[in-house]
Amino acid sequence: MTDVNQPTDTSLLAHLEAVLFSAAKPVPLALLGELFNLDEAALDQVLQLYSEQLVTYQRGLRLKLSGVGAELVSAPESSAYVSQIRQREDRLSPAAMETLAVIAFKQPVTKSEIEEVRGVNCEKVLKQLVTRDLVMELGRKESIGRPVLYGTTDTFLRSVGIESVETLKQEVATQDELTVSKET
């Protein structure tokens, strides 16, 4: 295994940065360890060093570690500039946001179950969410007609900045508890 304290630290960090930058999604830690021939402890040390350097040198990126892996994200202090770009990108319609929320909290869920909650047809919105890789088909329900079951994707989790749907549900429950306690 590679010794992180060797003079190759800089090139190792540069290669790590290139891999994370070029990846379209979080890179699993096991894969990073394999790529750079690092055991878990050495990889943790390299990731910590890289993360600290991003902050120390006031770079526009930060290292984000999650249950999915490691990825580069924009620095919070750059949010004003990043948000200007994001505002120009296509936004989800209110109908798409509502459909996405139903899927996130009730998954796996069928189209008819989503429509029952929303009270309107959601076929077009579902296709849009699948196309944007926010929702995916998880399989088929064991019932008459074997309808498609939908659930959220890793892209959805990354876009809302959470590790798992369970984390999202816990955060919403916590917010609900805070709201109830403020009202009483």
- Say how far apart CA 136 and CA 155 lie, in whole Å: 10
For 109-122, what is the mean pLDDT?
94
pLDDT digits (tens, 9 = 90+) for 116-128: 999 999 999 999 9
pTM reported for the whole predicted model: 0.51
Domains, the chain, ranges and CATH? 9-84 (1.10.10.10), 94-183 (1.10.10.10)
As a whole number of angstroms, the distance between CA 72 and CA 60 comes to 10
60-74 residue pLDDT tens = 999 999 888 999 999
Q: What is the predicted pLDDT for the residue at 2?
A: 44
Average pLDDT rounded to a whole number, residues 129-148: 93
The per-residue pLDDT for 1 is 47
What is the distance of C-alpha 14 from the center of its chain?
24
pLDDT above 80 (res 165): no
Position 138 pLDDT exceeds 90: yes
Tell me what the pLDDT averaged over the chain comes to: 86
Q: Which residues contact 29 (CB under 8 A, 6 or more apart)?
A: 40, 43, 65, 69, 70
pLDDT in tens, 40-54: 999 999 999 999 999
Q: pLDDT tens-digit profile of 4-40? A: 444 346 799 999 999 999 997 899 999 999 999 999 9
| 165-171 average pLDDT score | 75
Is 70 exceeded by the pLDDT of residue 105? yes
Structure-model confidence comparison of residues 131 and 88, the more confident one: 131
Residue 177 CB coordination number (10 Å)? 10
